[in-house]
Amino acid sequence: MIRLQNIQRRYVSDEVETTALHDIDLHVAEGEFLAIMGPSGCGKSTLLNTLGTVDRPTGGRYLFGDRDLAALDEKALAKFRGQTLGFVFQSFNLIDELTIEENVALGLAYRADAGNRRARVAAAMDKVGIAHRAHHFPHQLSGGQQQRAAIARAIVGDPKLILADEPTGNLDTANGEQVMNILSGLNAEGATIVMVTHSPSHADMAKRRIDMLDGRIVASAMRDI
C-alpha cells in the first residue's frame, strides 16, 4: 500500500543542518500493524509525519497505492489526509473549546462524502468506550479517556491508514493496555496501523517492528505468530 524510496528529511536552520531521515526505504502492506522503535531524536516522529504528509520530505519518493504524493499540492494533500488517514498523538491534541463529541466530529469535518455524521460519531465513540462522556470538555476527562477520544476522532472517517505517535506515552500501564487493545482490535478489523512507541511490550503487539537509529532503519523483524 505504501512505498517509501530514498526518503530524506533535512532541517536547515541558520547554521545548523540536521538530517532527521537518511535514505529511508520502507514498504507497508495493507492490513499491517507496524511498530517503529528507537532512541529519542532518531527520527521516528519525522518518519511518521512524513507518512502522514504533514511534513514534506526533502528527497525521495512517496507512493501511496499507485499515487505519487510528491505530485500533489497542499490542497490535494489536505483532502488526501481527510479521506485516507487517521492520527493519534502522544499528547492527545483535542481542542479545548470543543466537547468530546464535537472533537470526534472534527474527524469528518473536512470530508466531502461524510453522510450520516451523527451516527458515525456515535459509533466511533461507542467503539472506544467514551460515549458517556460525549458532552464533556477534554479537561474534564482523564488522560486515558482523552486518548480514547482522540482514537475515536482518528477512526470516525474509516481511514485506510492510522498513524499513532507514542499513543501510550502519556498513559499509565492500565490505560496504555486499553489503548493498545483498541488499536489491535482495529487492526484485526482490517485497518493498517503505523505506530511509534518506546514500549517493547506494546511493540510486541504489532505484527512487524522496525528499529531506527540516527535517521536510518537499522533492523526489521516480523513477529512470530
Partner 1 sequence: MNRSALLSLYRSLTRHRLYAALNIGGLAVGIAVFLVLGLYVRFETSYEKWLPDHDKLYVVEEYWNQPGSPANGYSTGTMGGLIDELREDFPGIVGTRMQVMDANVIRPGSATSEAFGYADPDFLDVVPLPMARGDGRRALRDPSAVLVDETTAGKYYSGVDPIGRTITLAVMGKAANYRIAGVFRDLPKATVQRFSIIARMPSPHPDAMWRHWGSERVMTWLRFDTPADAARLAGQLRGFVDRRGAKDLGDVTKQLSLPVTPVTDLHLQTPGRKLTMTTLGLVGLLTLLIAIVNYVNLATARAGLRAREVAMRKVLGADRGALVRQFLGEAVLTVALAALIGLILAELGLPLVNSAGGLSLVMPYGLVVPALIGLTLIVALIAGLYPAVLLSRFPAAAVLASARSPGGGRAGTRVREALVVFQFALAIAFTVGTTVLVAQTQHVRSTDLGFRRDGLVIVGSTADSALDKAQVASFLQEVRRLPGVRMVTTSDSTPGYSTGNSANVEVPGRSDSGPSLQWITVGPDFFPTFGFRLLAGRLPDAAHRLDDMRNAPKDSDPVNILVNRRAAGLLGFATPMAAVGRTVGNGAPRTIIGVVDDARFFSPRDPVNGTVYYYASGQAQFPRTTLRVEGDPRRMVEQLRAIWRRVAPQVPFSAKTATQDLQDYYKADERAARLFGIGAGLAVLIGCVGLWGLASFNTARRVKEVGIRKTLGASSADIVKLLVGQFLRPVLIANLLAWPLAFVAMRAWLAGFDDRIALSPLYFVGASLLALAIAVLTVLGQSLRASRAAPAWALRHD
Residues interacting with ligand ATP, by CB under 6 A?
11, 13, 18, 20, 38, 40-46
Shortest separation between residue 102's beta carbon and partner 1, angstroms: 12
The correct pick among 139, 174, 224, 225 for binding partner 1 (CB under 8 A) is: 139
Give the chain as a 3 state SS string: CEEEEEEEEEEEECCEEEEEEEEEEEEECCCCEEEEECCCCCCHHHHHHHHCCCCCCCEEEEEECCEEHHHCCHHHHHHHHHHHEEEECCCCCCCCCCCHHHHHHHHHHCCCCCCCHHHHHHHHHHHHCCHHHCCCCHHHCCHHHHHHHHHHHHHCCCCCEEEEECCCCCCCHHHHHHHHHHHHHHHHCCCEEEEECCCHHHHHCCCEEEEEECCEEEEEEECCC
Binding positions for partner 1, 15-54, rule CB under 8 A? 46, 49, 52, 54
Shortest separation between residue 136's beta carbon and Mg ion, angstroms: 28
Cβ closest to partner 1, residue 139 vs residue 224: 139
The correct pick among 4, 45, 124, 159 for binding Mg ion (CB under 5 A) is: 45
Q: Does 167 bind partner 1 (CB under 8 A)?
A: no
Q: Does 46 bind Mg ion (CB under 5 A)?
A: no
Q: Does 8 bind partner 1 (CB under 8 A)?
A: no
Q: Does 110 bind partner 1 (CB under 8 A)?
A: yes
Residue written as grid cell 490542497: 75
Cβ closest to ligand ATP, residue 41 vs residue 200: 41
Which residues here bind partner 1, judged by CB under 8 A?
46, 49, 52, 54-56, 74-75, 78-83, 85, 87, 89, 91-93, 95-97, 106-107, 109-111, 139, 153
Give the binding site for Mg ion (CB under 5 A).
Answer: 45
